[in-house]
Homo-oligomer: A and B are copies of this chain.
Amino acid sequence: MGWLLLIMNNRRKEGAEMRRSALLQAARCVFAQRGFAETNVEDIAAKAGVAKGTVYLYFNSKEHIYLAAFLEDARRLNRLTRERMDAVQSWQDKLRAYIELRMEYLESHQEFLRIYLAEIRSMMLRGARLCSEFVHAACESEMLLAQMFAAAIAKGEIRKVDPELAAVAVVDLTRGLMERRLLGWCRPEGGCDVQFELDLLYHSLAPACKEPR
């Protein structure tokens, strides 16, 4: 009879995992609309179609929900970033992959990005007690970019710059891009902003021709 219990346990575990995911998605939705402080747990529960108490079967606190919602998505984005960048060869293509993935993600995971762009950074600025897991998730793709730049420099494909600072610049510019899109501030003929960023970076990183000043 052991196998029956095992199967039922599995069913249960799967069900629990689904519940958890549903809760996280509901949470993302509400957090994205109202921010952490303005969101109340009851709304998350309602959105997920469960009772308030149920939420606490899956998460220890409102804050845990928040961080879990972020972490899950951040890891997925990091994984996708790695895959996409690995899938192409030249640094230019890798760079484009990094940026374009984010533009796609923006469409499919708007809630996550609203949270990420809006509050995670604020938390860091206030010196929140984020666990290292967290900081890592926030920086992993930045490291990927830095490695890419270092390699390109080594091959002489781009001029000698600090690879980390270059990565940081990409991150900042892309963040700006995402924000503006979320705010609906970008031009109607979408894509020109991405193209501009790429253009800016290609120009500025190209091996020197003559000094520009």
Q: Mark A172-190, 1 if CB is under 8 A from B, else 0.
A: 1101110110110000000
Is residue A106 within 8 Å, beta carbon to beta carbon, of the partner chain?
no
Asked if B34 contacts A37 (CB within 8 A), the reply is no
Asked if B124 contacts A122 (CB within 8 A), the reply is no
Residues of B within 8 A of A121 (CB): 117-118, 179
> How distant is the Cα of A177 from the Cα of B213 in the complex, in angstroms?
23
> How distant is the Cα of A81 from the Cα of B175 in the complex, in angstroms?
23
> How distant is the Cα of A28 from the Cα of B118 in the complex, in angstroms?
19
A205 to chain B, nearest CB (A): 8
A135 to chain B, nearest CB (A): 10
**CB-contacts of A144-188 with B (<8 A):** 161-162, 165-166, 168-169, 171-173, 175-177, 179-180, 182-183
A120 to chain B, nearest CB (A): 10
A102 to chain B, nearest CB (A): 13
Q: Which of B119, B165, B192 sits near A196, CB closer than 8 Å?
A: B165
Residues of B within 8 A of A94 (CB): none
Asked if A165 contacts B193 (CB within 8 A), the reply is yes
Number of copies: 4
Chain A contributes a number of interface residues (CB within 8 A of B) equal to: 50
**CB-contacts of A32-84 with B (<8 A):** 32-38
Is residue A203 within 8 Å, beta carbon to beta carbon, of the partner chain?
yes
> How distant is the Cα of A202 from the Cα of B176 in the complex, in angstroms?
20
**CB-contacts of A118-153 with B (<8 A):** 118-119, 121-122, 124-126
Residues of B within 8 A of A165 (CB): 192-193, 196
9 new A-B contacts at CB < 8 Å, known A161-B200, A165-B192, A169-B176: A33-B126, A114-B125, A118-B125, A125-B183, A166-B200, A171-B176, A173-B173, A202-B213, A203-B204
What residues of chain A have their CB less than 8 Å away from a CB belonging to chain B? 32-38, 92, 114, 117-119, 121-122, 124-126, 161-162, 165-166, 168-169, 171-173, 175-177, 179-180, 182-183, 192-193, 196-197, 199-207, 209-210, 212-213
